[in-house]
């Protein structure tokens, strides 16, 4: 059996979607978490200076979406058929663009960068939210599955839902205009294999 070791900071961030895939698919893994103040020490021990980092069988992978896709393909969480796989990939790419517009605001809000968080929120995050939140809502309405694509749960759901949870934590009203999204987050949190994990983890 493959021994997986995931290294990431002791928070949800970009690592949580990977942890959720492991939990959902019932794959044992070593969940190595470090505190922010220990990053420089940990960084020096990693192959590329980047986390999340997945190590197994003498190999390693970086980049959260690539890691998710790798695991998802092995556990029927990547979409059904090549066309749907490409749609899943497209949803994840769109999330990445939304994340890029939101990071300046979030990094200031988390105290990780200096700046005017209201300014970044107004000029970067909110315009992006006006584009991407309706888009995710549209995917949810059209799929008929309760998840982002037609065949059901995929790694795109783990990635996107985690980000939506983070947005709601930092701007409690941002999702209020999107009832399907709020229902979707409840639906994710009630997936039987994950219910207990979601209920007890640190958010």
Range in contact with another protein (rule: CB under 8 A) among 19-27, 82-90, 169-177, 193-201: 82-90
Q: Which of 10, 31, 55, 89 binds another protein (CB under 8 A)?
A: 89
Instruction: Select 126 or 135, whichever has its Cβ closest to another protein.
Output: 135
Cα–Cα nearest to 102, from 123, 79, 72, 78: 123
Copy the structure tokens of residue 13: 């961030």
Among 30, 47, 76, 90, binds another protein (CB under 8 A): 90
Encoded tokens for 201: 């983890």
The token duo for 109 is 């809000």
Q: Which residues are CB-contacts of 24 (< 8 A; sequence separation ≥ 6)?
A: 75, 77, 153, 158, 191, 193, 194
CA–CA distance, 123 with 34 (Å, rounded to integer): 33
Q: Does 96 bind another protein (CB under 8 A)?
A: yes
Q: Identify the residue among 18, 42, 65, 108 touching another protein (CB under 8 A).
A: 65
**Out of 37, 83, 114, 192, the residue judged to bind another protein by CB under 8 A:** 83
Q: Give yes or no for residue 94 binding another protein (CB under 8 A).
A: yes
């Amino acid at each position: 059996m493959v021994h997986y070791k995931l290294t990431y900071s002791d928070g949800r961030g970009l690592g949580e979607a990977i942890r959720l895939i492991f939990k959902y698919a019932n794959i044992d893994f070593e969940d190595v978490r470090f505190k922010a103040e220990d990053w420089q020490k940990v960084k020096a021990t990693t192959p590329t200076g980047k986390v999340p980092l997945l190590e197994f069988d003498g190999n390693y992978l970086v980049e959260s979406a690539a890691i998710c896709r790798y695991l998802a393909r092995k556990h029927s969480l990547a979409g059904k058929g090549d066309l749907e796989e490409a749609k899943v990939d497209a949803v994840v790419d769109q999330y990445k663009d939304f994340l890029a517009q939101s990071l300046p605001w979030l990094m200031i809000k988390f105290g990780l960068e200096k700046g005017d968080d209201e300014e970044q929120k107004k000029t970067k995050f909110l315009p992006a939210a006006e584009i991407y939140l309706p888009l995710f809502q549209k995917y949810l309405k059209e799929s008929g599955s309760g998840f982002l694509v037609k065949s059901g749960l995929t790694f795109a759901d783990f990635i996107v839902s985690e980000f939506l949870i983070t947005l709601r934590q930092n701007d409690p009203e941002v999702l209020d205009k999107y009832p399907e999204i709020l229902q979707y987050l409840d639906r994710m949190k009630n997936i039987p294999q994950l219910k207990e994990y979601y209920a007890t983890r640190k958010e």
